[in-house]
Structure 1
């Protein structure tokens, strides 16, 4: 195990690899320091008072590549574009590529050099390209220098039978040196414990990626984190405070769904990170009054909600807040399983089906505060106004009103949690702005009434999402024309919303 000083020096060298003069580097003036965490192990702590929205650090990946799920999307292993008709296998290593340009790219040169250096047991064209994609991030770890490999070995690893299986499966196709195989298995275990899912472009259809970000990997988990992060086009991770952080406080991120209820979050963390969270939110049965885990009381005459009496115990009895009815954990688990099956039967790509289920069925079984209802709210928010057949100009008045209502309700939930300027809040503000702007476009007489909120919502959304590779493509344009400080007339401001071609005209 590396000492704190050795780890700090290693991170300094890591951040010094870039020539980007704007990147924040580890120094005596860094806003963070590595210390022992009360949660166990190491953590990052603030060296000074940090304001909401302030950048704590900019990290870049030690190694990155396709995500390693059992079902992987097929795409180019260099540019990550999905399911293009131009995909072909490299004749030397069998990795998928989409063009001669990608085949000649330095990324592929390094990948190919490693894989083609192994003796193959079968003709190269018979090698499973999906298996190679799942293993590719760990394969790329072999290219790291000794300093970088030492850092990787110092991180927590999930050494369990289910981790690293993709590396062991490669043995059916290649004769891999024992040293290479052992390091790739270790790298796979480290990645499973520490890698971050990298956001993809809002418009490009790309394979899901993950990356190991050395500084970020030292942030511990909290169910209401005090930071958010986004990625730029260079795959740099920019970590910012979502609320004020006092000097000496630990810097947290969130490893799970912010809007999930406590039982779902804790089970997910146990399955993926192998620990049960015991933070303040997890210990509060009501989750700061949001009731995200609540179920309807089993008494047909009671309008109350059931919540776990001891939320930090998976076997806790649940109790109704209204009538006090107690329900054993086994009964709760049966209901939750049934709800999961019901959700699994939905076609999430079908907006009409989602809308009908949300409006007429789901609240027969669970309270409006439950995470399933909130999840459906978010799915509808992301789709209404954004998909073919339901664009802004095609939305009915009732659907436009529904979108606005859902945005406001979900924003109230994030505020109640104390999530600050989380990434999710930025997206919700953007969609609320878009709904309000569409109302004003349709009814110009409403503009003066809505103007202040139209401007403030896009301004706040921009401050949270700017520079994010996954941000809506018209974010900056909307802020320029519909945000505060624009000196154009009402007609000119709303010109960008009239037709899609105007978006193109305004961005040229």
Structure 2
């Protein structure tokens, strides 16, 4: 097989992946096992073998090293290797040490690789850490207090500053290069698992991908934490292979804040430099001064954002906008409305200030999508779900182009609402058989579009199970469409026969 990507260098000697040849949409660019899977600092304790979270205060300790925390002693996970077990045993720490100091687990595991796996250690050590940018910052001081000093006091590392810098470098490597992951899931709990992201994985090769807020790759991880990277669009030979480090549905300000604080760079991609965010207006507010224009963030040369109205040109102080958006964010993500009526009222309230496609409105739309079909859906709720799905798709088809997980899931939800609404109206004799057929054909087309995205998901992943369900629903939907077509043919035959009988009777009477 021809080599599909190269490792290139820019003018500051940063490594990144480029296409070694033309890459067609949907091609597998890279498949990589994780060098390490771990929780975020400050997260709950997790099993060092299978990486599932330990939900209660009860846990088991590995009987061989007498230190590694496990969900149970007979756990079949693969991440606590024999080599790691032997190295942990040499530390001679009390069994509850890692339970009491879970912050150090991930860094400790990386540090141990220096002893038992030189190849893996070299891969880790070559990754960007932004050590100097982090030095003496709040995150540096936090890592020093919770990790470096704890390891020194336990005699895991020596007191030298050089060793402290190595530990701080590993903290930086983890923060800068890891990918968000979900813990092992139960397929029967699919809806919950689609929302759950609380682990991080280190993939040294994939970490070399450069960032763009409009990426050209589709990333997916299976239940064994194997990472699959497909091209989401065609990629020309020599072009960078991009992934989006940030949330695609966050606005310009939020994404740039995340990239600056977590990845230590400023993004200047075409989306970040466009105040309309490619005509989606994902960050826009309504101007209450002129009642006509939109307040948009314009990125400056100094990488700050200035807010001004597109119509009256009034400038707004960024602190004022931040206050408004902070209040709106608290309403959307806080312990607010827990029923459909209250959520719809919140949506109407936010629309008085925010543009209909503002990223916070889209977040609320996605929450509403789940509420619209919680119980037996009404016509109003199904129509509301269709509208919410269409609003999300209108943005993702621009910002998450090509193969897209968000589009796949949203299209799946949209097809179900379309089909259910058609069946409901037909059962109440509000639409004819011909209109039912037309509406089901539209739902079938939507479901096929969903599968075009979801079939790139690994089979043993939440979206993979969703794709399997979608194939089953597509089969049933096609059977229903075929039966309706047969019914229409029979109705036409009966109608034609009846018409001929009437004509003959009319001629006999004459």
Normalising by structure 2, we get a TM-score of 0.79
Q: Say whether residues 1:243 and 2:233 are aligned partners.
A: yes
1:56 offset after TM fit, Å? 1.3
Q: Say whether residues 1:326 and 2:315 are aligned partners.
A: yes
In structure 2, which of residues 425, 432, 443 is the aligned counterpart of residue 454 of structure 1?
A: 443
Aligned to 2:52: 81
In structure 2, which of residues 250, 264, 268 is the aligned counterpart of residue 278 of structure 1?
A: 268
Aligned to 1:406: 388
Q: Which range is displaced more, 482-491 or 396-405?
A: 482-491
1:277 offset after TM fit, Å? 0.5
Q: 1:486 to 1:180 in 2, by over 3 A?
A: farther
CA contact (8 A) 1:62 1:211 kept: yes
Aligned to 2:507: none
Q: Say whether residues 1:415 and 2:394 are aligned partners.
A: no
Aligned to 1:476: 468
Between the aligned partners of 2:340 and 2:301, the Cα distance in structure 1 is: 38
1:281 offset after TM fit, Å? 0.7
Q: Say whether residues 1:371 and 2:371 are aligned partners.
A: no
Number of equivalenced pairs: 451
Alignment of 1:113-192 (within 5 A): 113-120=86-93, 123-125=94-96, 127=97, 129=99, 131-132=101-102, 134-141=103-110, 142-143=112-113, 145-159=117-131, 160=134, 161=136, 162-163=139-140, 164-165=143-144, 166-168=146-148, 170-171=150-151, 174-178=154-158, 183-192=166-175
- Please tell me the root mean square deviation across aligned C-alpha atoms, in Å: 3.2
Between the aligned partners of 1:105 and 1:337, the Cα distance in structure 2 is: 42
Q: 1:207 to 1:452 in 2, by over 3 A?
A: closer
Q: Say whether residues 1:53 and 2:33 are aligned partners.
A: no
Q: Which range is displaced more, 30-39 or 371-380?
A: 30-39
1:312 offset after TM fit, Å? 5.5
Compare CA radii of gyration and give the structure with the larger one: 2
Q: 1:207 to 1:295 in 2, by over 3 A?
A: closer
CA contact (8 A) 1:53 1:464 kept: no
1:344 offset after TM fit, Å? 5.1
Aligned to 1:229: 219
1:419 offset after TM fit, Å? 2.2
CA contact (8 A) 2:300 2:306 kept: no
CA contact (8 A) 1:262 1:311 kept: no
Between the aligned partners of 2:52 and 2:330, the Cα distance in structure 1 is: 32
Q: Say whether residues 1:294 and 2:246 are aligned partners.
A: no
Between the aligned partners of 2:77 and 2:227, the Cα distance in structure 1 is: 27
Q: 1:347 to 1:37 in 2, by over 3 A?
A: farther
Task: Give deviations 1:261-294, integer Å, cap 9, x for gaps.
Answer: 1111111111111111011111111111111111
Q: Which range is displaced more, 200-209 or 270-279?
A: 200-209
Aligned to 2:209: 219
Aligned to 1:498: none
Q: 1:319 to 1:186 in 2, by over 3 A?
A: closer
Between the aligned partners of 1:353 and 1:113, the Cα distance in structure 2 is: 58
In structure 2, which of residues 447, 452, 465 is the aligned counterpart of residue 463 of structure 1?
A: 452
Q: Which range is displaced more, 32-41 or 99-108?
A: 99-108
1:185 offset after TM fit, Å? 4.0
Q: Say whether residues 1:433 and 2:415 are aligned partners.
A: yes
Alignment of 1:27-66 (within 5 A): 29-37=2-10, 41-65=14-38
Between the aligned partners of 2:475 and 2:106, the Cα distance in structure 1 is: 42
Between the aligned partners of 2:324 and 2:347, the Cα distance in structure 1 is: 21
Q: 1:488 to 1:366 in 2, by over 3 A?
A: closer
Task: Give deviations 1:334-388, integer Å, cap 9, x for gaps.
Answer: 333443444454448x343762354332112222121111111122235543xxx
Query: Which of the two has greater helix per residue?
Result: 2
Q: 1:85 to 1:358 in 2, by over 3 A?
A: same
Normalising by structure 1, we get a TM-score of 0.79
1:481 offset after TM fit, Å? 4.0
Between the aligned partners of 1:31 and 1:220, the Cα distance in structure 2 is: 16
Q: 1:288 to 1:192 in 2, by over 3 A?
A: same
CA contact (8 A) 1:284 1:311 kept: no
Between the aligned partners of 1:287 and 1:104, the Cα distance in structure 2 is: 43
Between the aligned partners of 2:69 and 2:354, the Cα distance in structure 1 is: 45
